[in-house]
Amino acid sequence: MTTDRGQPMTAWDSVFRTLLAECGLRPVWLHEILELVARYSSTESYDEIRPLTVKMVSQLLQRQGVKVWSVHRLPASAQATVQWDDSLKCVLDRIDHAWAALGREPGFEEIAFLRRLDLAQGLTTDVEGGPA
């Protein structure tokens, strides 16, 4: 399989394509991105997986329509979903800071999720700068 540019698809490209498609169907939580990046990367080191995961989030957020959201718990078991309207750098810093504050890998519904809102737009499936 090849990218839109005719280059062989790497594992990174495949993970990106899968996550971008999933973001168009449903919320994709940070822990899901982490799990896919970890599964297809050549490292098992937590210290190396974390920056790769943040890099994947960055590349996903650079696609038109992909936004980051979080869920805030309210009294009486209610919750509110809030879109982050920060710059890309601020979003990535916020994710990294929240992750560091956890002191572990994020779990289900922790920190943030990504969602693609412009479902009418075509998907661009190749990624530059991913690990080989």
Residue 56 domain-assigned (yes or no): yes
Q: Is residue 108 part of a domain?
A: yes
Give a yes or no: residue 2 inside a domain.
no
Q: Quick check: is 126 in a domain?
A: no
Domain-embedded: residue 1: no
Average pLDDT over the chain reads 84
DSSP-assigned letter for residue 122? P
Give the C-alpha separation, 60 to 66, whole Å: 7
User: Can you give the residue range of the structural domain that contains 48?
Assistant: 11-116
Total number of domains in the chain: 1
- Decide if 6 is inside a domain: no
DSSP of 18-71: HHHHHHHHS-EEHHHHHHHHHHHSS---HHHHHHHHHHHHHHHHTSTTEEEEEE
Quick: pLDDT tens for 78-130: 778 889 999 999 999 999 999 999 999 999 889 999 999 865 344 333 334 44
DSSP 111: S
Domain CATH for 79: 1.10.3510
123 in a structural domain:
no
> 1-10, 41-50, 62-71: which has the minimum mean pLDDT?
1-10
Rounded distance, CA 32 to CA 87, Å?
A: 23
